[in-house]
Structure 1
Amino acid sequence: MKKNLLLIVILLGSLNVVKAQKLDIIPKPVHIQQKPEVFVIPSSVQLIIDPGIQKSASYISSGFLKNSGISPKVSIGNKHKKHTILFLVDKKMSLPNDGYQLSVTKKGVVVKGKSPNGVLNGFQTVLQICSAKEVKKGTIPYVQIEDYPRFEWRGMMLDVSRQFFDKETVKKYIDWLAAHKMNVFHWHLTDDNGWRVEIKSMPDLTLKGGFRGPGEVLLPSYGSGNKRYGGYYAQDDIKEVVAFAAARGVAVMPEIEIPGHSRAVTAAYPEIGCVTTQETKSVQGEVKNVWCVGREENFQILDSIIKEFTTMFPFEYIHVAGDEVNRATWEQCPKCKGVMEKEGYTDTFQLQNYFFKRVEKIVEKYNRKTAGWNEIIKGGTLSPNTEIFAWQGVNYGIESVKRGHKTIMIPGQYTYFDMAQSENERGHRWAAIIDTKRVYRYEPIPINDLTHEQQKLIKGVQGALWSEYLDLPARFMEYQSYPRISALSEIAWSKKEDKNWENFYSRLTNSHLNRLANMGIAFRDFPPTANYNKGKITVTVPYTNAEVRYAVQSSEPTKQSPLYTSPIETKDYEHYKFKTFFGEAAASPSVKAEKPAVANWNSSKIEVLKISEDISEHVDKNGIWYLSFVPTEETTANGTIKEISLFENGKLIKSYATERTLKTKSRLRFVIDNYNEKNNYRIDFTIENKEAKESAAKVNLDCSPYQEPEVKVTSSMSENPKFPFSSLEDYKIDTYLRTENSCINGDWILYTFTNAVTASKIDVLTGIPHHPRFIANDGHVEYSYNGIDFEKGDSFNYGNAIIYPKQAVKAVRIMITGTNNEPILAAQDLRIHP
């Protein structure tokens, strides 16, 4: 028996020895074979770098030192030597241009690529292996890897117009892309809110159009405040960035925003715009932001601008935008109407096509190709060489391909990283709530809508980070980028059949988040899950050894907050917040504890479900309670909810007869004002699944942390009928006020309560919920105990102010003392704390 036990121990020990270390490579390689042995990197290791990638020698050397801890000797050549690390270009390899082979044996390390970029991709894999959690520093496990990308175009766009990022920040952003084998940096250099690239033939584009603020030709916007804000890149800066990117295998594609989104241009050179008697607004509310198509001199100006662009950017494409053009301006412009009459056009899309055909010729004149957003294919045909970026949705990519254009899939619904990552985070919402998992789920080729030959026109996939709301908090650009770009890189590189979220998430959280932190990225970590049940909050960490901290009284957890180690006993679960922290800079959004669902269902057939649940254990106080229906996945949001009723001791409290689809994420209000712990509460509702599609959801019941007293709202400003003053009286989180015009000194919004309200604190919020557009910049809040005499409270700080009343409040007033430099003002429901 002892002999058998000894054999088992020896066997288990040997198994432990031969166990291969997890390498956690992102994006996942195509083919990989691994052995348990490791190559121990000599302390005086030599890096032999092919002359074909000599420009990258310094980058390779410094990256190797940082990730391995060993300072290498570098020589330029292509001869194999033992115990060296060789980076070799081999044009005869039967791999795609960006592909590579990596061999690690007892003899050393060999990275071969068919092109310089292929070698650099192999180098990134070496760095990731060296920095994997289970790999001992100074060693490289024996591996044989053959790897190549699924798509030749693997891009990411950064908007530097709304927010200006200096040269060094842009270089770091490119460095991070290279680490993920992304090969195109799309640089959005011009827009309404700033022109960022020096054009020597038109200096005022940057001297005037590169700045906004008091006394500038551009008004403050997107949080820039009442100060001079902006900047631009000199042509030498641009060339430096382009060379920096090239050394890392990244091409830089510039974008000139024309003919719309051009307020910075027309502010610096007014003659470029249309002359009209009636101003029209763009989608973003800008005026005078369109190039005049009927002014012939404008095409000469564009020629000179594009010529200078080609001296800075060697990339084969120049992106000329074409999105969201305010064509209504052309309808008012005599010169533009003259072109339409001359050419026999019947609509302004044809005029837009006329414009881009002329731009194509200018671009081709300088041996470049044109790229643009999907709107440019409207109104007529374009050169088959023009590349289309399908941002408005997958269907626009399908249309582009069917018209014969090479197409980059960049649908806002999956790859726009200015979108919020959860319901309670800052960011846009018009496309979708986009977290890392949703990005990873995206498939760029719609195989059911395109033939095999048509599919070949989908050249690649790209993400975009628009910068409207990247001003605050600090380093929010990094938070919005990663790890969503990590997911995007695997979509762009790895085989479709190898995609698996659980596997990706394991690689990401085991090693790759630490790599991101070592790169200096303040990424968005994954939040914990906190559940409240029977007097205890229990937290589930998002991955092994995640650091979760908490705060009470609804304050935000910090690195100094208590570490969560065991369940927390409390009755005030709603006052706790929890957050994951990683290193010094990265963190997740904070989350509150959730009570168990009061009901749930899962149906995949046509049927009617009548659900009745005893919810007595979920109700524990008087207050305003909200019942919400939350689909378990985006794909399960099918079915209709109806006949919703709440009962107390068998007596109906309230019912809702109107049908609601699950897609609407309904949130229903109930008031419980006769609570007793002996009371019995029941919820009844009906689900009708009208199609044989999966319908699955959980039903939550939560008590509001705020009071909702009856209130009447009036204002000196006129309301937008779609966003009326009554939106500030309903306490619905998804409704808000928009005024019809911009605010000026002396404007006000008055909240008058039917009965005076006793509160510990009142939050007064302006702007659109979760992404602060149209906020009050200059102004303060006032409050009255009798509805007649008002006391001055706090000034607005980034659109928000707080009142701490000493007695019952009868009225609250927003007072504006200056314009917010926006076309309108928005305001939200008061948050009235008990």
Structure 2
Amino acid sequence: MKKSILLIAIFLSSLSCLQAQKLDIIPKPVKVEQKEGAFIIPSSVQIIVDKKAEKSADYIKTSFSKYTGIIPVVSIGNKHKKNTIAFLVDEKMNLPNDGYKLTINKKGILIKGKSSNGVLNGLQTLLQISSAKDVKKGSIPFAKIEDYPRFEWRGMMLDCSRQFFDKQTVLNYIDWLAAHKMNIFHWHLTDDNGWRAEIKSMPDLTLKGAWRGPGEVLLPSYGSGDKRYGGFYTQADMKEVVAYASARGISVMPEIEIPGHSRAVTASYPEIGCAISQELKSVQGEVKNVWCVGREENYQILDSIIREFSEMFPFEYIHIAGDEVNRANWEHCPKCQALMAKEGFTDSFQLQNYFFKRVQTIVDKYHKKTDGWNEILKGGEIKPNTLISAWQGISYGIESAKKGYETIMMPGQYLYFDMAQSENERGHRWAAITDTKRAYSFEPIPNDDLTPEQQKLIKGVQGALWSEYLDRPTRFVEYQSYPRISALSEIGWSKKEDKNWEDFYGRLTHSHLQRLANMGIAFRDFPPTAIYQNGTITVTPPYENAIVRFDAQGNEPTRQSALYTKPIQTKDYEQYMFRTFFNEDVASPAVKVEKLPVANWSTSKVEVLNISENISEHVDKSGIWYLTFTPTADARANGVVRTVSLFENDKLVQSFADEKTLKSKPRLRFVIENYNEKNTYRLDFTVENKETKESSAKVNFNCSPYLEPEVKVTSSMAENPKFPISTLEDYNAETYLRTDVACANGDWILYTFTNPVTSSKIDVLTGIPHHPRFIVNNGYVEYSYNGIDFIKGDAFDYGNVSIFPKQPVKAVKIVITGTNNEPLMASQDLRINP
């Protein structure tokens, strides 16, 4: 009996040991078996590298040393010896490409890969095991792993045109991709705002087209300001990057952005563009940024460019883009129109198709295949071996696969990592607010829309980081990339049935964030959640042992701010901000205190819901209040909201009768003028779900932190009718003014209040909301207490300026002293603090 008890105790002890040693591998392997015990790495351990993986021997050595602190002796061979670590290639393994088997036992460590890339994937798993939080340094727990990727294409794109990243930054980026078993680096080298690849047959592409600023052929943009900005990669640089990536199991696919997004080309060689007098703007506001399809010499130029690219980049694909082409240029170009007449074309999409067929012939000539954005499917047939990068949405990937093309799924709504990660963070918003959880939720194969054969055409998955707004703050490229790329790696590698957000988040926060920190990545940490209820702020850290600090004066918390340790009693919750701090380089965004929803619903039936809620405990002051309807998930954004009414003491305050779709995330403005703590408030609204689809949302009611006094705005500048001056009067943070031309010395915008406004601070913002595009670089603000006499305030800094009036303000004026050197100028509503 005692013996049995002892055996049980030993078993439970070993089980506890196994459970404690979480390996936290990302992406999650196909099959993991852990056993009791660990291989203790000898101080003079020998690493054996198969000759077929010899090009990666130095990388294996340095990586192993960095993660374990032990400098190994490396030899080339194909036999595993006792107490050694062997990296061997076995092409006969019954595994998919890039697959591997990892065995760790008392004899040593053996990694067998289907290919050299499989060996490197095994290396990454070994390095992650050695750096897991629960694993003692210098030891590797016994384990047996069989692993292989779900998709053959696991890619990430980095835009080096809008912002130029030096060679070392690119090499670091490749290292981080390799650590996540990614195998494609899509290098976006050319665009409107800079040509970054040396082409010896066309030297002006980099002598001129790699630079922007005063006196350059390209105007300043995306925060580059009134200085010369730019750079490029020499052919030697690019060959070095290719070799560096290859040693890490990554192929580099270059992108030549044609025929649109080519202002850097046409500014350097104007004859390449269409000979037109009109300045027809692209969707980004660029002019003359399209190759002339009807100019025969352009195909000779493209031949020389593609030839040089094909010599530098051994990867089988060249990406030739094809997105967002401003075809209006062709419609006004004599040569393009003559070509249309000659070929019998009836629309400009056929011209686009003609262009791509010509380019594909050139690509084929140099023994490469063509990759292009999903727009190249328009206008006619293209070669069947074309690869389609579906970026505009999942439906475009479905369309591509149905047409028989191999397809890379990279919908902007999930995998464009230039998207903001929350409402209050910097970044694009046109596709979605995309945090790590949303990115992780993406499923690349839409089973219900494709046949099994069509599903096989989904070759893989890819993320993208466009760099328009990566100029600041420092290292923002890292903040936008991780841990979202960690999520992307699991989408591309792990089995669909193994994907689980809670499990992934556990591995990420338990060990993997520290790995990212050890790699030197300034990643985005997860913010805490702060909830206000009944006079108390309660904060939930994002994970165990997370450090949360707070500020009670409305400022962003710093590392010197107070540490949150227990609930905070206060009625002034609006001023509190909270933030997670990981290390000196890493923190989360600061978050404000949230109030609980005032209402919610969830249904999947066809029905009408009449909802009435007493919201008295949520209303605590007079002011402007916003009611928001937020779907709990994209798939649950069905139905409509209508007949929304707010009552004070059973008396109607305000009502909205029109119907709004839940997908539009309705935001309704209410004014509460006579708040009294004895008042009662009721919210009534109707939800109609018209189909048997899920409709689920939370309803929030929050007081605006700003004043919204009646204002009239005038300007010396001509407005764009789609973005009129009147947008500066609506206090909607998402609407803004756009002019039709760049601003110039002497231009102005005047905000005049109907009645003088008492304010502690007024923020004056230019540019597109959330983005530093079309900002005022040269100018200052003035303000007046009587509407006649103006006081000069501060100059604009990165498009923004603030004033701190001592009396009620009658008018605020933007005074411009020089051009912003961009195609146009934009301005926003004033933010008027009480």
TM range (shorter): over 0.9
Match of 1:43 in 2: 43
Out of 399-408 and 57-66, give the one that drifted further: 399-408
The 2-side partners of 1:267 and 1:15 are apart by 68
Give 1:221 deviation, angstroms. Answer: 0.5
* d(CA) in 1 for partners of 2:280, 2:805: 44
Say which is worse superposed, 60-69 or 154-163, in terms of deviation: 60-69
Contact 1:20 1:36 in 2 (8 A): no
Q: Secondary structure at the match of 1:587?
A: coil
Partner of 1:751: helix, strand, or coil? strand
Change in 2 beyond 3 A, CA 1:80/1:400: same
Q: Secondary structure at the match of 2:345?
A: coil
Matches of 1:664 and 1:39 in 2, distance apart?
57
Counterpart of 1:381 in 2: which secondary structure?
Answer: coil
Aligned residue number for residue 831 of structure 2: 831
**1:502 matched to 2:473:** no
What is the deviation of 1:159? 0.5
Q: Where does residue 606 of structure 1 map in the other structure?
A: 606
Partner secondary structure for residue 586 of structure 1: coil
Deviations 1:741-760 (A, max 9, x none): 32111111111111111111
Which position in structure 1 is the counterpart of 2:452?
452
Deviating more after overlay: 815-824 vs 93-102: 815-824
Q: Which moved more, 1:252-261 or 1:294-303?
A: 294-303
Aligned to 2:668: 668
Q: 1:791-810 residue pairs with structure 2 within 5 A?
A: 791-810=791-810
Comparing 197-206 and 559-568, the one that deviates more: 559-568
Per-residue Cα deviation, 1:459-478 (whole angstroms, up to 9, x for no partner): 11111111111101111111
Which residue number corresponds to residue 526 of structure 1? 526
Q: How does 1:743-782 map to 2 (within 5 A)?
A: 743-782=743-782
Distance 1:566 1:2, change over 3 A: farther
Could you tell me which amino acid in structure 1 is paired with residue 753 of structure 2? Answer: F
Q: Which moved more, 1:457-466 or 1:277-286?
A: 277-286
Query: Which structure 1 residue ranges, 5 or more long, are not aligned?
Result: none
Q: How does 1:15-34 map to 2 (within 5 A)?
A: 15-19=15-19, 21-34=21-34
Is the 1:50–1:88 contact (alpha carbons within 8 Å) kept by the matching residues of 2?
yes
Instruction: Could you list the structure 1 runs, at least 4 aligned residues long, displaced by more than 6 angstroms after superposition.
Output: 1-11
Identify if the C-alpha distance between structure 1 residues 682 and 635 changes in structure 2 by more than 3 Å, giving closer, same or farther.
same
Residue in structure 2 matched with residue 511 of structure 1 by the alignment: 511
Does residue 295 of structure 2 align to residue 317 of structure 1?
no
Q: Counterpart of 1:472 in structure 2: which amino acid? A: R
Alignment of 1:568-607 (within 5 A): 568-607=568-607
Residue number in structure 1 paired with 2:114: 114
Cα gap change, 1:809 to 1:145, in 2 (>3 Å)? same
Q: Give the letter aligned to residue 333 of structure 2.
A: C
The reply to whether residue 415 of structure 1 matches residue 415 of structure 2 is yes
Matched position secondary structure for 2:444: coil
Structure 1's 75 and 9: CA in aligned 2 closer, same or farther, altered over 3 A?
closer
Q: Quote how far apart the aligned CAs of 1:67 are.
A: 1.1
1:786 aligns with 2:786: yes
Q: Tell me how far 1:3 sits from its aligned partner.
A: 13
The Cα of 1:277 is off from its aligned counterpart by: 2.6
Out of 115-124 and 325-334, give the one that drifted further: 325-334
Give how far 1:492 is off. Answer: 0.7
Question: What is the match of residue 339 of structure 2?
Answer: 339
Structure 1 residue 630: deviation in Å? 2.0
2:625 maps to 1:638: no
2:822 corresponds to which letter in structure 1? E
Deviations 1:53-84 (A, max 9, x none): 11111111111111112221111111221011
Larger deviation, residues 752-761 vs 419-428 = 419-428
CA distance in 2, matches of 1:344, 1:616: 69
* Paired residues for 1:241-390 under 5 Å: 241-390=241-390
% of aligned pairs identical? 75
Match for residue 626 of structure 1?
Answer: 626
Distance 1:5 1:117 in 2: 48
Paired amino acid for 1:610: N
Cα distance in 1, alignment partners of residues 76 and 3 from structure 2: 58
Task: Output the CA distance in 1 between the equivalents of 2:18 and 2:260.
Answer: 62
Q: CA–CA distance in 1 between the matches of 2:649 and 2:351?
A: 69
Say whether the 8 Å CA contact 1:21–1:36 is kept in structure 2: no
Matched, 1:186 2:158: no
TM-score normalised to the size of structure 1? Answer: 0.97
SS of the equivalent of 1:628 reads: strand
Pair 1:395-2:395 in alignment: yes
Answer whether contact 2:641 2:661 (CA < 8 A) is retained.
yes
- The answer for the alignment partner of 1:567 in structure 2 is 567
Separation of aligned partners in 1, 2:742 and 2:657: 40
2:95 counterpart residue number: 95
Which residue is 2:79 aligned to? Answer: 79
| Structure 1 residue 11, shift from structure 2 partner | 7.2
- Tell me which moved more, 20-29 or 727-736: 727-736
Q: Which moved more, 1:542-551 or 1:783-792?
A: 542-551
Per the normalisation by structure 2, the TM-score is: 0.97
User: Does residue 1:135 correspond to 2:135, yes or no?
Assistant: yes
Cα pair 2:14 2:36 within 8 Å, conserved: no
1:659 corresponding residue in structure 2? 659
Check conservation: 1:124, 1:181, Cα contact below 8 A: yes
Show the counterpart of 1:493: 493
Q: Which secondary structure state, in structure 1, belongs to the residue aligned with residue 774 of structure 2?
A: coil
Distance in structure 2 (CA, Å) of the matches to 1:33 and 1:584: 37
Cα contact 1:710–1:729 (8 A) shared by 2: yes
Deviates more, 1:185-194 or 1:578-587: 578-587
CA contact (8 A) 1:19 1:36 kept: no
RMSD: 1.8
Worse overlay, 773-782 or 622-631: 622-631
Q: Distance in 2 between matches of 1:140 and 1:7?
A: 25
- 1:130-155 per-residue CA deviation (whole Å, 9 max, x = no partner) reads 01111111111111111111111111
Moved more, 6-15 or 413-422: 6-15
Residues 626 and 667, structure 2, Cα contact 8 Å, conserved in 1: yes
Quote the Cα distance in structure 1 between the aligned partners of 2:498 and 2:19.
Answer: 23
Q: Distance in 2 between matches of 1:247 and 1:4?
A: 53
Structure 1 SS opposite 2:595? coil
Whichever residue aligns with residue 709 of structure 2, its letter is P
Equivalent pair of 2:20/2:134 in contact (CA under 8 Å):
no
Matched-pair contact (CA < 8 Å) for 1:20–1:34: no
Distance 2:773 2:114 in 1: 49
For 1:492 and 1:14, how far apart are their aligned partners in 2?
34
Cα–Cα, structure 1 residues 91 and 141, in superposed 2: closer, same or farther, change >3 Å? same
Shift of 1:341: 1.6
Q: Which amino acid aligns with 1:739?
A: T
